[in-house]
Amino acid sequence: RKEVEQDPGPFNVPEGATVAFNCTYSNSASQSFFWYRQDCRKEPKLLMSVYSSGNEDGRFTAQLNRASQYISLLIRDSKLSDSATYLCALGGGADGLTFGKGTHLIIQP
Amino acid sequence: DAGVIQSPRHEVTEMGQEVTLRCKPISGHNSLFWYRQTMMRGLELLIYFNNNVPIDDSGMPEDRFSAKMPNASFSTLKIQPSEPRDSAVYFCASSPFGAGEQYFGPGTRLTVT
């Protein structure tokens, strides 16, 4: 099993819809979880951290399920500008991050 | 505040040549990371430093790759000799020590012909 797995997509979603995708991980000892957003030919940018109690930031909600070893990202009222690749990442602290290959999201007008 | 700075932004070189990538982390950040991104393998951690000391270089693919951090504001990643399979985007990232969040530079797009 790969360390971090994501459905590569693409997810084609109409503007205004809600979309959710997951990221599964194999290392049960992972302590830190993040979602990054990467636009085409740009660097990854931190979208949000994922806390054990869940985390909400405006239209974005991230959750962690330790028992099933996955994190999720939900985007409500999707905008055209949400089109990007979403990378999940594990680890952090004083160590480097292990990234998934990303889920490609396309918001259609 | 300036973010992570990388140079050059693009590099095209011939197989066998030496390539040096440069990174200036965000001021005050104690940890620096080098990543490589390709379509096939995604984003991979190559090496990271804490307080200028290399901590884990297990991601460095071969002895042709080396990295240094002579001071808190500068790091280099060198490939010698370069090969076509080294073609990728190389990112540098930094974070405050112990913090999970990392901040990426714009990357260096390397093409080895």
What one-character DSSP code corresponds to residue A82? Answer: G
Distance CA A60, CA B90 (A): 29
* Residue keyed to tokens 């540098």: B92
Range from A20-29, A74-83, B22-31 carrying the lowest mean pLDDT? A20-29
- Strand-pair category, A103-108 with A11-14: parallel
Confidence of residue A87 (pLDDT cuts 50, 70, 90): very high
* A3 against B32, higher pLDDT: B32
Is pLDDT of B34 > 80? Answer: yes
Instruction: Give A17-55 pLDDT, tens digit per residue.
Output: 999 999 999 988 888 899 999 999 999 999 999 988 889
For residue A1, the model assigns a pLDDT of 54
Which chain B residue shows the shortest CA-CA distance from A48? B101
Question: Among partner residues B31, B42, B101, which is closest to A34 by beta-carbon distance?
Answer: B101
Range from A17-21, B25-29, B93-97 carrying the lowest mean pLDDT? B93-97
Amino acid (one-letter) located at A13? V
Inter-chain CB proximity A43 and B105 less than 8 Å: yes
Token output for B6:
């990388």
For residue A29, the model assigns a pLDDT of 81
Confidence of residue A2 (pLDDT cuts 50, 70, 90): low
For residue B60, what are the contacts with CB-CB under 8 A and spacing of at least 6?
B46, B47, B66, B67
CA B42 to chain A, closest CA, distance in angstroms equals 5
The torsion angle over the Cα atoms of residues A6, A4, A36 and A60, rounded to 10 degrees, is: 60
Per DSSP, the three-state class of A81 is helix
With beta carbons less than 8 A apart as the criterion, state whether A88 and A3 touch.
no
Q: What is the mean pLDDT of residues A100-104?
A: 96
Show residues of chain A in contact with B100, CB under 8 Å. Answer: 32, 34, 49, 91-93, 97
Distance CA A92, CA A20 (A): 24
Is pLDDT of B98 > 80? Answer: no
Distance CA B63, CA A51 (A): 38
Distance CA B111, CA B101 (A): 29
